[in-house]
Amino acid sequence: MNTIHGTKQGLCILAILALSFLGVCYDAGANAADDPFKNGARHEKEGQFFQAAESYARVLRLKPGDQKARTALARVGDRAIAEKLSIATALEAELKLDEAVAAIESARRLQDQMLSLKIGPDQHGMIDSRREQLVMRRVETLLAEADRAQADGLWSAAVAHLQQIDALVPDFNDTRKRLHDVWVAWGETNLGEGRLRAAAERFDQASRVPGWLSGSSASRAATIRAGLGSSELARGACRGALVDLRAAERLAPGSVQPDVLNQATECAGTCVQLKVVADPESGLGDGQLDLLGAEVRKQIGAGASEFLQIRGSGANDARGCTSRTMPGMDGQTMVVGPYQSAIRVTAISMFRQTASSSTHQTRPQTGGPVDMVVTYEEYQEPFVGTISGWVIVTDRGSSGLSVPLPVKITRQTLARWQRNPISSATVTDQYSGRTSSVVMIDGSNRGRAQAEEERRRARAGLTETLILDFAAEAARLLLATVDVEPAVPDPTALPNVPASGAGPSLR
């Protein structure tokens, strides 16, 4: 803290009790908020009528009965609307049609505010007519751009243009039908490229176009997703298969056989028996071990997929723990799990490093004849802490194969305290005008007591941080081992996937 001077308002409170504590002065020098009425008057004087009108309207929102602001808004309101209409015309000439429409919208909002305050005539007809002209010109431009994009195979650009048209004028000239057809054409292109998953997404989007809920498009997307799911299931990617099969069933209920869904569900799930321990010589207390266990389970619960169940380490908790099927590195399916896991802390340590100090002063203002200066030393003492341990994962379905994963977390914090305040005061006698100086040195032991308390807090806070970070890293390592599934590439063709609602296969 550097020397603190008095505020512009002189609002500073003396907080020094002799030899007992260090006074700190609050700086109340924040600038007052700008006056919206004065801002409005300034903008009006500069010919910025729309900004002036907005400022006057803001005054009236805060104080509806302010006649001065009401008169001012009535004086500049029409000119403000004319200003925005003129800006829109200039933007139109530069072919900045979106910005021109935005200017018209600003004029309309101001008109709405004025009418709500019963100020000025209703100009909605003129404003809406001008907006319609600009919107229709923008729509024509977007239609031409959509046609060019579609002809060039720039599907995403064509979709964006048509969606923008629909936002401006809902379903203008069957815009939504055109949007549906672009999604379908994009899907057909993806099919020809062998990108089945992308094609399914395009057909799905086509089925979602408002007013064009195409059962045919949804059915085609479902057929592809069901085929992808069946392919993944055959290669042991049960979790990916379940995602695709569920998507297919959502798109077209009944498109997936129940036994296929059941098979994917059964081979997707597994469980892990979890134990959180600390070595006796680790330095971790019972309360800290309880915190670690609770945080580990919280982190795992937040990050685990729906397919992983966490069980306790007791013998009864092993019941119902099942293995799961997943893709192997050689392309063949493999069975893994269920798992046992021990999260183990082997050591937690903390090192106190050399403290550094700096000198600071504060000069509180009393508002009277006393000039007080307090000088003190501030100390900073770094603490570095480390917690180490292991995540040990045992695959009970693979002859007890264990994977030990090391965990080491290092963090730093600071303990801060103050000591040795020296107070010097210059006092002026109000009657004689004489001045005298007094110097007081705090000779108490409060600096040492404060240092010990701050060290205790630093240790406690650093210990908790280390435990929480260890829990997060241990949970991440555990989930990365037992709750992942290697991806399998999508096929480029699926048997019996129709190119339309009925007809020949895709390839």
Q: Which CATH superfamily is domain 271-482 in?
A: Lipoprotein like domain (3.30.160.150)
Q: From CA 130, how far away is CA 433, in angstroms rounded?
A: 77
CB 266 within 8 A of CB 236: no
Give me the pLDDT at residue 307, please.
92
Distances (CA, A) of 150 to 176, 181, 491, 499: 15, 10, 27, 21
Per the listing, tokens 């019963």 go with 118
Q: From CA 23, how far away is CA 421, in angstroms rounded?
A: 10
CB 398 within 8 A of CB 40: no
Q: From CA 112, how far away is CA 123, in angstroms rounded?
A: 10
The sign of the torsion formed by the CA atoms of 300, 305, 309, 313 equals negative
Q: From CA 333, how far away is CA 261, in angstroms rounded?
A: 18
Radius of gyration of the chain (CA): 37
Give me the pLDDT at residue 451, please.
87
137 Cβ contact list (under 8 Å, min separation 6): 92, 97
507 residues of the chain, pLDDT tens digit each: 333 333 333 323 223 333 233 333 333 333 334 788 999 899 989 999 999 999 999 999 888 889 999 999 999 888 999 998 899 899 888 888 889 889 988 998 999 988 888 888 888 888 888 888 888 988 999 999 999 999 999 999 999 999 999 988 887 888 999 999 999 999 999 999 999 999 999 999 999 998 766 788 999 999 999 999 999 999 999 999 999 999 999 999 998 989 999 999 988 999 999 999 999 999 899 999 999 999 999 999 999 999 999 988 876 666 778 888 888 877 678 888 899 999 999 999 999 999 898 888 777 665 566 677 778 788 899 999 999 999 999 998 766 788 999 999 999 999 988 877 777 777 776 677 677 777 777 666 667 888 899 999 999 999 999 999 999 999 999 999 999 888 889 999 887 654 443 333 333
CB 250: neighbour CB atoms within 10 A? 15
What per-residue string of b and e applies to 357-371 under the rule 16 or more CB within 10 Å gives b? Answer: eeeeebebbeeeeeb
416 closest CA partner among 385, 440, 365, 451: 451
State pTM to two decimals. Answer: 0.64
Give me the pLDDT at residue 30, please.
33
What DSSP string runs through 136-193?
A: HHHHHHHHHHHHHHHHTT-HHHHHHHHHHHHHHSTTGGGHHHHHHHHHHHHHHHHHHT
CB 500 within 8 A of CB 216: yes
Give me the pLDDT at residue 430, please.
66
CB 134 within 8 A of CB 87: no
Which amino acid belongs to residue 364? P
Per the listing, tokens 């055109």 go with 178
Structure tokens at 296: 């580990």
Parse the chain into domains and list their residue ranges: 271-482
